[in-house]
Amino acid sequence: MTMTEFIRVAAVDDISDPGKLIFEMDDRLLVLFRVGGEFYCLDDVCTHDGGPLGEGRLDGFEIACPRHGARFDVRTGLPKSMPATESTSAHTVKVEGGEVFVKLGSDEASEPTTSAVPANSGAVSAPTSLPVADAGHSCQTTNAAGECSTPTLGANATVCAAEAGPLSEERVREELKRVIDPELFVNIGDLGLVYVVDLQPVDEDKTNVRIEMTLTSPMCPAGPQLIGQSKQFVGQLPRVANVEIKLVMDPPWSPDRMTDAARDQLGIF
């Protein structure tokens, strides 16, 4: 990173303690933090998907991205929780005569630019196999050997014909929890990505399923995979005729749609 000269960006009293101030320098948005009487400066950019860090919640020395909840250490820019795995740039700050000055770049000999999220941060590790939850089924009608004693519905079906029962919205939503976001490693049900599950009976035996779901970000590269797996798994449920999945971005997804289980998994409190 090219070093520049110190530039005055604020008076000390312009920022409460704790507090933050977003400003622009050399055509880039930065955010100045004041915590415990000290000042720190980071790029106003979350390395997960470009979220505006300065609009997030400041908690001690950590700032939480308002989009998906990744936390960063304001002193270093290091990521502290998923889904971010890379540092955001930290800049040099000095205070003189009641004024705060910032110089782009860090004075550290080797500025950290990338760091794995610490193991104790609450983040989860990448799975070593295909991120699909519970590929088997929980059949209650087992024989003496513990094997399923009733035929399944089709080669890839996950539910026994004997315990299929009526199709319900709840059953579809449970099945959708088998679909795991490959970036966050949390199922799409607990992430709050499934907005609507609508069942439309075709006849006595068959039902069409219409699903409206969203993504954590419009640019999420996992979108086609999540839609494809959702369609595949729901389509394997007994009595399903057709599955239609509509991707919607309104209302946009936000972290408050996650269940407590998802928050725990991502280390978001």
Q: Which listed range, 45-53, 185-193, 203-211, 220-228, lies at the site for ligand FES (CB under 6 A)?
A: 45-53
78 contributes a contact to ligand FES by CB under 6 A: no
Q: Which of 46, 90, 184, 213 binds ligand FES (CB under 6 A)?
A: 46
Check residue 125 and report its DSSP letter. P
Nearer to ligand FES, 53 or 240 (CB): 53
The residue among 83 and 238 lying less far from ligand FES, judged by its C-beta, is 83
Rounded to a whole number of angstroms, the minimum distance from the CB of residue 32 to ligand FES is: 19
Can residue 71 be called a binding residue for ligand FES (CB under 6 A)?
no
Does position 49 interact with ligand FES (CB under 6 A)? The reply is yes
Using rule CB under 6 A, residue 177 touches ligand FES: no
Interacting residue with ligand FES among 30, 43, 44, 48 (CB under 6 A): 48
Task: Closer to ligand FES by CB, 192 or 238: give it.
Answer: 192
If binding is defined by CB under 6 A, does position 44 make contact with ligand FES? no
By the rule CB under 6 A, 51 interacts with ligand FES: yes
Q: Compute the least distance from the CB of residue 257 to ligand FES, in Å.
A: 14
Structure tokens at 257: 């749609």
Residue 84 in the binding site for ligand FES (CB under 6 A): yes
| 83 is an interface residue for ligand FES by CB under 6 A | yes
Instruction: Give ∠ CA 29-184-237 in degrees, rounded to 5.
Output: 140
Q: Does 237 bind ligand FES (CB under 6 A)?
A: no
CA–CA gap between residue 108 and residue 181 (Å, rounded):
36
What strands lie across the sheet with 240-247, from one edge to the other?
A: 194-201, 207-213, 240-247
Neighbouring residues of 126: CB distance < 8 A, sequence distance ≥ 6 = 185
Q: Is 211 in the site for ligand FES (CB under 6 A)?
A: no
Residue 65 touches ligand FES, criterion: CB under 6 A: yes
Q: How far apart are CA 27 and CA 180, in angstroms?
A: 38
> CB under 6 A: which stretch of 68-76, 105-113, 134-142, 180-188 binds ligand FES?
68-76
239 forms part of the interface with ligand FES (CB under 6 A): no
The residue (of 32 and 215) whose beta carbon lies closer to ligand FES is 215
Residues touching ligand FES: how many (CB under 6 A)? 12
Nearer Cβ to ligand FES (49/190): 49
Placement of tokens 């979220």 in the chain: 51
Provide the binding-site residues for ligand FES, judged by CB under 6 A.
46, 48-51, 65, 67-70, 83-84
